Structure formats: structure tokens, C-alpha cells
């Protein structure tokens, strides 16, 4: 299904004074509350909003009719005991498919597509009346989403894509911030969901220490080396082109959330996000030596700028932010500001792969 027209400008707009009646964790609340965004089931963080309470207002460019449809999506997720992250994924997906409108037409890729989620007339999404009903179509979307294995470890746009099978897996990410704004604005609940679609992956809380050698160095990551330092062909990834020169070494993770360890003791000097959305942690080890760790998600960063870290301390969890085709660690070494091949450098300090 190709891209649909948006419901409006994508901007994060909060409505602090909007205190609607809602059910949150089984308790009637009003005003600003908070939710545990990364609990994948509904226990403790599912939101319910009465469509009849939606005010005649606009949030992120979406008007009253669209906001009422959003509450139908949210309620369908609530009734299936899904958490606020899944509920927000539903709102994001409908924004990307129909602009939060129940539309009675399809497109070139799916002329039989209908409704909020542009569901096809193929028997999988119910009868025409189901596809044109906001609550019923949302329920069918969520039932399909619930079948996606380990969806909490996937970026929201990828989870949505695995249900919708859009031509562009990253089609939905530009609607994420608006979806968060709509859910939070309607409910008065601070969801804990972050701007930037790829950063909203749920990670576990456990950490583990790496093994430090007698020289005071540790492996930055586990897994086989999948790409080394040096020139390479420019290729197109799912989220953008790679660079013609690879300035680091890639360590393939065994899925997402694998440990990333500080290679040596030092101070966290930078935590930045590049233009492609990739997160970087830089550790200054003194003597002109610095190391960089790239592609974790924002909620997989376990340190802050200024932190003193030890060799082998887990500083992050592997992710796939930015120009990346899967969860892994891109590791760089800089000497006096110049990037060098990490593998020979590590070998000199006693770390071999």
C-alpha cells in the first residue's frame, strides 16, 4: 500500500489543560498521569477514552472527527488488554494509511482497500462493514499485531509494517510523534514514549559486565564481525544510504538488546544523534584516545554525558537506529581525532576476535 495523505502537520503538541475522564490501570483518572510505556501487555499501562468526551479541538493537525477515530483505536487496544505502546502504534498506522479517516476508497496498490487501516477485501479483515467500522477494523488490526513475534523489540514502524506489508517499511515512522501527541493530548497521560519512531523499543533492565584483560581493556561487543574498517560500495539500506568508507567495525548482535561494553575506563564525552537518527556514545579514555559506540536506541543508552565508566561496564544495549539493517554495534576508535581501524588497535592492547 503506497503512502496515503496525512491528516496534517506532524508536530508534537501537548494540551496540558485537557483533563478528560479516562480509565488507566482500572482507575478513573483526570489530568496528567504517567504510564510504563514499555510494558508490552495492558497490565498497568492501558488507556481508555470515551469517544463522547473528545473536545472540538485539533492536535497535531488532526481535527475532531479524526480524534474520535483515534479514541476508537485506543479503546479497541484497551479491550484486547494491550499496552499504551501498542495502542499508539495503532493510531500511528491509521495516520499513515488514512489520515485517521474512515475512507471508502482504496488506491492503485489496493483498489479494494477501505477504512482507517486500508484493509483489503481478501477475507482476512472481515466484511465491508467491519472494514468501514473504526472500532471493528482497529480490533482486527490489533489481533494481527498481537501475532507479531517479539514486537516490543521492533521499532513501531516495523511492527506496523509486518501487519500492513507496506511497500516502504519505514512509511509510518514520520507519524509517530503525532500519534504520541494525540494519545497523550486526549488522555492527559504522559506515556513515556519518546519522539523518534526508532527509539521506542522496549529493553530489559538487566545488565552484565564484560571481561577485562590485564591491560585494562575489554571487548566492546559480542558476536562475529560482519563489516570491517575500509572502503565499500554505497548501498541502500531500509532507512538510507551507507557511506562509501566504513570508519569502524560492526559486531553482529544475537538479536536486539545485546550488551555494549566500554572498551576501557574513561568519561562519557558525547551522546548524540546523527542526521539519520543513529545514536552515538563517545567515551574519552585520555591520552588522545576515544571510542564510539553506534546504533543503539535511545532507551538502550545506559549512561549520561560526564559519567565515569569502567572497562567492561555495560554502557548500552545493541539496537538498529539510523542507517542500519539490523541490531548490531558499530564500534570506532579515534586517536587525536583521527579514526583508525579498531581491530589492529584492539589487538595491540590484547583484545582479539
Mean pLDDT by 10 residues, the chain (353 residues): 32 30 30 48 69 93 98 96 93 98 92 96 96 98 92 84 90 94 92 73 71 95 83 53 75 82 96 87 97 89 92 92 86 95 94 90
Contacts of 310 (CB under 8 A, 6+ apart): 212, 262, 265
Distance CA(13)–CA(62), nearest Å, equals 11
Res 232: pLDDT? 66
Same domain, 162 and 127: yes
Same domain, 187 and 239: no
Res 233: pLDDT? 59
E-state strands within 21-80: 22-24, 27-29, 33-34, 47-49
In a domain, 47, yes or no: yes
CATH number at residue 181: 1.10.530
In a domain, 10, yes or no: no
In a domain, 279, yes or no: yes
pLDDT tens string 229-274:
877 655 444 444 456 778 889 998 777 888 999 999 999 999 998 8
Distance CA(277)–CA(312), nearest Å, equals 26
Distance CA(192)–CA(310), nearest Å, equals 29
Handedness of CA 100, 167, 145, 258 (dihedral sign): negative
Chain Cα centroid distance, residue 305: 22
Q: How many CA atoms lie within 13 A of 315 on its CB side?
A: 38
Same domain, 155 and 242: no
Q: Report how far apart, in Å, the C-alpha atoms of 154 and of each of 33, 170, 319, 325 are.
A: 26, 12, 10, 12
Query: Is residue 148 a contact partner of residue 138, using CB atoms and an 8 Å limit?
Result: no
How far separated are the first and last CA of the chain, in Å rounded?
Answer: 44
In which residue are the cell numbers 521492533 written?
A: 154
Q: Helix crossing, 156-164 with 84-98: angle to 10°?
A: 60
In a domain, 70, yes or no: yes
Res 32: pLDDT? 38
Give the residue from 199, 217, 249 where a domain finishes: 199
Same domain, 229 and 289: yes
Residue span of the structural domain in which 308 resides: 225-348
Predicted TM-score (pTM) above 0.85: no
Domain count, the chain: 2
3-state DSSP call for residue 251? strand
Same domain, 39 and 144: yes
Query: 126: alpha, beta or left, given left = phi > 0 and alpha = psi -120 to 50?
Result: left
Distance CA(192)–CA(30), nearest Å, equals 17
Res 13: pLDDT? 27
Same domain, 191 and 231: no
In a domain, 1, yes or no: no
Same domain, 194 and 278: no
Same domain, 42 and 120: yes
Length of the chain counted residue by residue: 353
Res 30: pLDDT? 31
Amino acid at each position: 500500500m503506497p503512502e496515503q495523505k496525512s491528516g496534517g502537520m506532524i508536530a508534537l503538541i501537548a494540551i496540558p489543560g485537557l483533563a478528560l475522564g479516562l480509565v488507566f490501570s482500572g482507575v478513573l483518572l483526570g489530568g496528567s498521569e504517567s504510564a510504563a510505556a514499555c510494558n508490552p501487555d495492558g497490565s498497568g499501562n492501558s488507556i481508555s477514552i470515551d469517544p463522547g468526551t473528545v473536545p472540538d479541538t485539533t492536535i497535531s493537525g488532526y481535527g475532531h472527527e479524526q480524534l474520535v477515530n483515534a479514541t476508537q483505536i485506543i479503546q479497541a487496544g484497551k479491550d484486547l488488554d494491550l499496552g499504551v505502546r501498542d495502542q499508539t502504534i495503532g493510531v500511528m498506522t491509521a495516520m499513515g494509511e488514512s489520515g485517521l479517516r474512515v475512507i471508502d476508497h482504496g488506491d492503485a496498490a489496493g483498489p479494494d482497500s477501505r477504512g482507517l487501516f486500508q484493509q483489503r477485501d481478501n477475507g482476512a479483515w472481515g466484511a465491508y462493514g467491519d472494514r468501514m467500522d473504526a472500532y471493528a477494523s482497529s480490533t482486527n488490526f490489533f489481533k494481527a499485531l498481537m501475532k507479531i513475534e517479539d514486537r516490543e523489540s521492533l521499532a513501531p514502524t516495523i511492527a506496523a509494517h509486518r501487519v500492513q506489508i507496506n511497500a516502504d517499511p519505514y512509511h509510518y515512522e514520520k507519524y509517530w510523534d503525532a500519534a504520541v501527541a494525540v494519545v497523550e493530548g486526549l488522555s492527559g497521560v504522559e506515556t513515556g514514549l519518546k519522539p523518534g519512531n526508532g527509539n521506542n523499543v522496549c529493553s530489559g533492565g538487566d545488565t552484565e559486565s564484560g571481561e577485562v584483560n590485564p591491560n585494562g581493556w575489554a571487548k566492546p561487543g559480542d558476536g562475529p564481525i560482519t563489516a570491517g574498517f575500509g572502503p565499500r560500495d554505497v548501498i541502500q539500506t531500509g532507512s538510507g544510504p551507507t557511506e562509501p568508507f566504513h570508519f569502524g567495525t560492526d559486531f553482529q548482535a544475537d538479536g536486539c538488546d545485546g550488551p555494549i561494553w566500554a572498551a576501557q575506563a574513561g568519561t562519557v564525552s558525547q551522546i548524540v544523534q546523527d542526521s539519520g537518527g543513529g545514536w552515538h556514545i563517545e567515551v574519552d579514555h585520555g591520552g588522545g584516545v576515544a571510542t564510539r559506540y553506534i546504533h543503539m536506541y535511545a532507551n538502550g543508552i545506559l549512561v549520561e554525558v560526564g559519567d565515569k565508566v569502567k572497562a567492561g561496564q555495560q554502557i548500552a544495549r545493541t539496537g538498529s537506529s539510523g542507517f542500519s539493517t539490523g541490531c548490531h554495534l558499530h564500534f570506532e576508535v579515534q586517536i587525536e581525532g583521527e579514526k583508525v581501524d579498531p581491530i589492529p588497535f584492539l589487538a595491540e592492547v590484547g583484545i582479539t576476535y
